[in-house]
Structure formats: structure tokens, C-alpha cells
Structure 1
Amino acid sequence: MKEILAKIVEKTALEARWLNTLSLLEMIGARKIGKTVCQAHPALEILEHLNDETRHALIFKKLSRALDERAETYLCRDEAISYFQMLDATASEWLSEQIGTEEPYYNYCFVTCLIERRAMQIYPVYKKITPHPVVQRELAQIIAEETNHRHFIEEEIKKLQQKTGVSLVEEGQKIEQDFFDIFMESVKREIS
């Protein structure tokens, strides 16, 4: 992953497309929150998460434009969408099998946990290697916010693990890794 990110930041136009892709992924996440756990007035933590994900999408879009005002394209748009949608569907189905029921709140927590863990692998590495101070600053803020979401979500997952006796995160990360590898392989091909 680090090698792919290093290659992306070599060219400003390419990095702008990467930022636009991150914006897209954050927006998909925000939409997912709205569709799954905001049918009624949700808890404060969920509203904060929805707000932050939407704002992250906006920040990444603005950064993309700041680096290249013509940046309207993505790095592997379809594969990015597929990564999120396939992860969501597969992880939610797996979780429902484990707990014996389909529970949108638990699906939200589980998928969010997996995505936040991935973000915390990507964003710090990206922050270190991007040559753009404005991107570094914004990533520092986003990392702090993602860390806060992760603490809340992981506490919810711990409660669920205690009920089920299943190592949910470990198994979920295997599912996520498969879809992430497919996405990153597409990015690698596109930037080569």
C-alpha cells in the first residue's frame, strides 16, 4: 500500500484524483449511515459520525480541487464503489448469520469498524508521504475524528462479541482485506 501511495503522490494530478476517490468513499459512507441508522432520529454519536463523514467527503473534494482545479475524475471509481458495496453486503450478511438476525444497527457498527480500521491504516501513511502541507493538516484532523468514531464503534462491537462469542473483528478484517486487495490492485494497474 505504501508503494502505491508513494507513486500516487509523485504527480499532483494523480494525487488530486486519489483525493477525489477518497471523497467518493467518504460520501458513500455518509449515505450508508443515512440509509441504515437514520430512519428515526439517531443517537448523538451517529449524528456526529454522519456529519464527520459528509465533511470528510467535502474536505477531500476541496483538496482535490486545490491540487488540480480540473480534477473531476477518480482513481478506479467503479472499483472504489464496488469495494464499499461488496464489503457492506458481504460483511452484513456474514454478521447476520453469526448473530441469527439481520440488525441494521449492528451491521452499521460492524462495517464501520472495518472501514475505520482500514482508514487508520491508509490515512497516517498518506499523511506522511504527501508533499502537500494542506493535505497533511487536513489528514491530521480527519485521523483524530476517525479515531473518535472507532472508539465508540469498537465498544459496540465488543458488546456484540460478548453476546455471540465470535471473534467478529478478526473475521471481518479477512472479508475486508479481500475486497481492499482487489481495489488496490486496480489502483496499482491504473497508475502504472
Structure 2
Amino acid sequence: MGHATETTNHSIPEVLKAIVSKEMNHALWLNTLSLLEHIGSRKILLTQSSEDTSEMILRHATEEARHALFFKKAARTIQPEFRSGYQNSSLVRGTAARIYFAKLDTLVRRNLKKVFTDERTFTYLAYLYTTTVIEKRAMVVYNAYDEILNQSGSPIRLTNLILEEEGHLSEMSAEMYRLDPNAEQRLALLEAEEAKIFARFWRQIGEFSLN
């Protein structure tokens, strides 16, 4: 499994370089990142809107929505006539991107359901774990992508966005460790399972990059 993850991580810059080299594909890729950030923002608001909604949750949902907008606008920087929504024809393997998110969400909820019977704690921890695992993956992809953007002299840079994601991760980590005595082991297990789900998703992105 470690080998599969290693191979996937190694292939991330190669696939991104191929995508960035073609303007239309690059715009579609940016729109796909926008979709994933939008799904994240929407999911936070759908699952965490209650009398317990904290400043952290509101800030996090707002920043994810802003990241979705950032990537949408960036697609227009690459392709000025790009005005698409989230139709599959306007995305890089849109169905695969949605499946990646849904499978990860199901994985986390199934794991937590066995341990946390209180609905409020379960829902909150599901948000924390799902978002943490996805954002840790995003950091790998975004850092590789930002380096390629820098090397290619692109006007698009992800520096601020990466800093915000790092801020989210440290906040969520503190909450997970406060509420779950087995947070370290659980996170390691979920990350290992995410690597398999991501490998399938990234294989499809790699196939697209050859177009």
C-alpha cells in the first residue's frame, strides 16, 4: 500500500505538468479544483448548521467557498472565454472527482459510527476527519501544483490559499484530539484508506492528461 501511495505521489507533478502544458485542459483542471472546494464548503454548511455552529466552522465554510471562486476566476485567467458551471464537460473527470469525495465521506462515517453513538459528536467528528483527510491530500497536490505554476511563470499562485488550508488543519487537529482519544491511530488508518481512493481518482486524471 505504501508503494502505491508513493507511486501516486511521485506521479502528481508529472500529471500536473502535462495538464498545465495545454491551456484548455488547464482551465478544466482549475474548474475541477473549484468544484472540490465548492463541495467541501456546501458539505460543511449542510452538516454543521445548528445552534452549535462555531466561528471556526463559519470561517472554514467561507474560505472553502472563496477558494472555489478563486479557482473559477483562475480558469478565466488561463482561458478568458471560460464561463462554465460544473457540468462534466467543463471538468477533468468530474464524475471521478465527485466519487472521490463521496467515497471518502462514507469511509469516515462508517469508521466513526462504530464508536460514537452521540449524534452531535458523531456529525462533528465526521466533518473534522473528512475535511482533515481531504485537506492533507490537497496540500500534497497544491504544493506540487504551485511549484509548477511558479516554474512556468504563471500569474496564478496558491500561496495564500495554502496558508489558509494549513490554518484549517491545525484548528481541526486540536478539536479531533480533544474529542477522540484515538485520534492519532484513527487518522493514520483513514489516511491509508484515502490513499487507495485517491490512487483510483488520480489514475483517471493521469489518463485525461494524455489527451
The TM-score, its normalising length taken from structure 1, stands at: 0.92
Shift of 1:49: 0.2
SS in 1 for 2:65: helix
**Residue correspondence of structure 1 range 52-67 to structure 2 within 5 A:** 52-67=63-78
Q: Write the deviation string for residues 104-145 of structure 1: whole angstroms up to 9, x where unpaired.
A: 101000101101101111111100002253311xx1010010
- 1:159 and 2:178 are equivalent in the alignment: yes
- 1:124 and 2:135 are equivalent in the alignment: no
Letter in 2 for 1:178: K
Which residue of the other structure, out of 121, 134, 142, is the alignment partner of 2:155? 134
Q: Write the deviation string for residues 58-87 of structure 1: whole angstroms up to 9, x where unpaired.
A: 000000112113433110001001101111
Aligned twin of 2:202: 184
- Report percent identity of matched pairs: 32
> Which runs of 5 or more residues in structure 1 are unaligned?
none
SS in 1 for 2:155: helix
Which residue of the other structure, out of 91, 101, 109, is the alignment partner of 1:74? 91
Aligned mates of 2:54, 2:61 — CA distance in 1: 11
Letter in 2 for 1:155: A
Shift of 1:32: 0.4
The TM-score, its normalising length taken from structure 2, stands at: 0.84
Aligned mates of 1:188, 1:64 — CA distance in 2: 19
Aligned mates of 2:184, 2:140 — CA distance in 1: 24
Q: When the two structures are aligned, how many residues end up with a matched partner? A: 189
- 1:145 and 2:164 are equivalent in the alignment: yes
Contact between 2:176 and 2:183, CA under 8 Å: does it hold in 1? no
Aligned twin of 1:23: 34
Residues 1:145 and 1:165: Cα distance change in structure 2 (over 3 Å)? closer
Which residue of the other structure, out of 114, 123, 128, is the alignment partner of 1:109? 128
Contact between 1:18 and 1:74, CA under 8 Å: does it hold in 2? yes
Contact between 2:44 and 2:61, CA under 8 Å: does it hold in 1? yes
Aligned twin of 2:110: 93
Residues 1:84 and 1:125: Cα distance change in structure 2 (over 3 Å)? same
Shift of 1:166: 6.4
Aligned mates of 1:186, 1:40 — CA distance in 2: 41
> Which runs of 5 or more residues in structure 2 are unaligned?
1-11, 85-89
